Amino acid sequence: MKSAIRLIILSLLLGFPLLVMGRSGEMAVHAQPTGASPTRRINVPFTTAVEPDIPAAERAILWYGEVGPTTPSYSDVRIIYNNEKLHVVFHIIDRYLYYDPTPTAGEMPNWDAATLYLDLDGNVGSAPDNDAFRFIGQLDALNANQQDQRPNYDFAYVGNGSGWSQTGLAFETAVGTQTTTGLNNQQDDAGWNITFRIPWSSLGLSGPPAPGTVWGLGLTTHDEDGTAHENRNWPEGLSSTNQSTWGQMRFGLPTYTPPSGVTGSNTVTIRHGENGATVPDGHVGGATNCGGYPPFWNTWGNFNYAGDYEINIQNQWNLGDWGCFSKYYITFPLDALPADQGVISANLRMYHFGNSLPSEAQPSLIQVFTVDEDWNENTLVWNNAPLAVENVARTWVNPLPLGGAGQYITWDLSAAVAEAYANGQPLRLALYSADSARHSGKYFSSSETFVPDRRPTLEITYGSLYGFLLSGTPLQMADPGDAAQYQVTVSPTGGFNTAVSFQVGNVPAGVNVTVPPGTVAPPGSKNITISHTDPSQTVGGLYAVPITVTGDGIERTMNLYLLVNGSQQFLPLVER
C-alpha cells in the first residue's frame, strides 16, 4: 500500500516556530520542547481498617529510583488513608544501610532517611506556607514496632512563607530493616522500610479530606552508602520549597463518566497481530525466576526479557525477596479508533495462566498505571522503565490451583483510553501491585504468545459525539497591508442540528478581523477576513486569531493564522 508524504515547511524571517498540518482542519504550532515532566498523581484509597490490620495489597503504590551497586536506592511507596490518619510506607531497596546513632534535625537528611512533603492547597505555589508540611524519618537500629521509642529520629516542619520551620506536630514513624549483617558497614543488605502515620488533627483537620480533594505530594529518599550520599526524588524535578514541582495526591479512586450525547455504539478490538496492530510489551525485574541466582546488585536492574511468551507481575512486603519483584509494560495504538468519537467504555483483558508456588499463593490486587513515555522492548529494563503518571484501575486476581484452567482478567480503563485518545497518544500502561505475600506472582500470556486469543487485548466501545467539528482554511499568506480570506466549515456529529454563532477571540495587534453577522445552520460555513494593517512592515510576522463557535451549550475553537512576509518551501513528494 502506497502513501504519499508532503512536508510543507513555512519559514519566517525571524525564525518563527515550525507549522505542521494536523488532522483535517487543524493546525498545530510546535515550539521548542520544554522538557517538562508530566504532573504525576497517585489516587489514594480509603479503608475502614486501622493498624495493624490495614491490608498492604489495597494501598495505592508508586515507585522511583534504581537498583544497582552504587546508584541511589529504589523505593516503592504505598499510601492509604482511614478516618484517623494518612499512612505512607516507603519500601527501599538499598545495598548498604547507614544511620546516625545520635542524630540531630539538621543532620537527618545526611543518612538513610525519607522525607514526605504535603501541601493541603495542592501542588501550587513557589514557597511553602502554613498549609505545607514536611516530615522526615531516619533509619535506626531499633525494632520496627518501637515507633514510640524513636526520640530524635523523626521531625516535623511547617511552611513559613519562604522555607520550613521545625514544629512539634504529632506523628508516628516505624522502621524495619532487612539485614543479616547489621548496620553501618559495607556488607550487603537488602533494604529497609519506614512508615509515616500522620493524624488529621496534626494537619488542622477534623477528619479525612472529602473524596476528590487534591493535595500536593513530594517524596525524597536519602541514601547514604558509607562512601557517598545521594537523594532520589518523586517527582523527578522536586524542589523542597517549590510546590509547583511536586506531584499530586488525590483522595479516593478515579471514576469515569462517558461524555453525554454519544449516539450509536461500535466496538474496536486491539490485539497484537490483529488487523495490523503492533502491541509491544515486556516485563522488568525478576521475571518468572526471580532474576536467577544472587548476587544481583550489578546485573538485576538491567535484565531485559524481550520476546518472552509469559510475563510476571509481583511484589512483596519483605525486601529480602526483592529479586522477585516484577512490573509489566504494554502500549496499545489507538489509530483504529475513528476520529471524533466519544469513548463509552474500554477494558483491558489478559490471560492469567499461573502463579508462583500455587500451594502458598495469595490473591493479588494488580494495579494499572498510565505512562507518558515511549520505550523499546529490546532495551526495556527495571532501571530505565518509565515512571507511572497515574494509577487508573485495579482488579483482584485469585491464584489458580495447580493444574487448574486459566482465566481472563479484566480492568476498566475507560478513563485512561478517553484521555489518551483525546491527546492523540497511544495508550501506554504499566502493571504492578502493592502485594505483601511472599508468593504473590501472577503469570500472564504476553503479546508474543502463540495463541492469539490469549494475547493482551484492549476492547473499546465508542459512539459519535453529539456536537460539531470545525474545519477549513487555517493558514493564509499575505503581503504587508493586504487581507486574506478564510472559510470555517461547521460539520454536525451525533445528530446535532442547532444553529451556531461565531465569535472572535483575542485579536493580536497588527491585524483586523471581519466576521459577517448571523448564525450558521450546520452543515454550513462562514467566510472570515483577516486584514494586515501595516503596509510598511518589513519583518516576518505570524498572527493567530482564535475563532470560537458556539451552539446548544457546545463550544469549539479554531485558530486562523495569517503569515506576513513569510516564505513557503515545498520539499519533493516522497512515495513508498
Q: What is the pLDDT of residue 149?
A: 58
More confident residue, 72 or 90: 90
Q: How much is the average pLDDT of 536-561?
A: 92
Burial of 544 (0-12, 13-18, 19+ CB in 10 A): middle
Which option is the CATH number for 263-464: 2.30.320, 2.60.120, 1.25.10, 2.30.30?
A: 2.60.120
Q: What is the pLDDT of residue 37?
A: 62
Say yes or no: do domains 41-251 and 263-464 share a fold: no
Sequence-distant (6+) residues with CB within 8 A of 130 are 158, 159, 160
Q: What is the pLDDT of residue 495?
A: 83
CB 221 within 8 A of CB 90: yes
Instruction: Tell me the C-alpha distance between 269 and 275, whole Å.
Output: 9
Q: Which residue has the cell 499568506?
A: 477
407's grid cell: 482465566
pLDDT of 11 over the 70 cut: no
Q: For 276-314, write each residue's pLDDT tens digit.
A: 999 999 999 999 999 887 778 999 999 999 999 999 999
Q: What is the pLDDT of residue 142?
A: 66
Cβ neighbours of 330 (radius 10 Å): 25
pLDDT of 143 over the 90 cut: no
Q: Taking phi first (over 0 means left), then psi (-120 to 50 degrees means alpha), and beta for anything else, what does residue 212 get?
A: left
% of the chain residues with pLDDT over 70: 90
Instruction: Tell me the C-alpha distance between 458 and 348, whole Å.
Output: 5
Q: What is the pTM of this model?
A: 0.81
CB 479 within 8 A of CB 277: no
pLDDT of 168 over the 80 cut: yes
The domain defined by 41-251 folds into Immunoglobulin-like (2.60.40)
For the chain, the distance separating the N- and C-terminal CA atoms, rounded to the nearest angstrom, is: 8
When the pLDDT of each residue in the chain is averaged and rounded to a whole number, the result is: 88
Cα dihedral 177→179→184→185 (10° resolution): -160
Confidence of residue 71 (pLDDT cuts 50, 70, 90): low
Q: For 245-257, write each residue's pLDDT tens digit.
A: 999 999 999 999 9
Cβ neighbours of 180 (radius 10 Å): 10
Burial of 77 (0-12, 13-18, 19+ CB in 10 A): buried
Q: How much is the average pLDDT of 506-511?
A: 94
Instruction: Tell me the C-alpha distance between 140 and 147, whole Å.
Output: 11
Sign for the pseudo-dihedral over CA of 289, 294, 300, 303: negative
Q: For 349-387, write each residue's pLDDT tens digit.
A: 999 999 988 778 889 999 999 999 999 999 999 999 999
For the chain, the structural domain boundaries read 4-26+474-570, 41-251, 263-464
Report the CATH superfamily, name and number, of domain 4-26+474-570.
Immunoglobulins (2.60.40.10)
Residue-wise burial string across 226-248, b where 16 or more C-beta atoms lie within 10 A, e elsewhere? eeeeeebbbbeebebbebebbbb
Q: For 448-481, write each residue's pLDDT tens digit.
A: 999 999 999 999 999 988 888 899 988 999 999 9
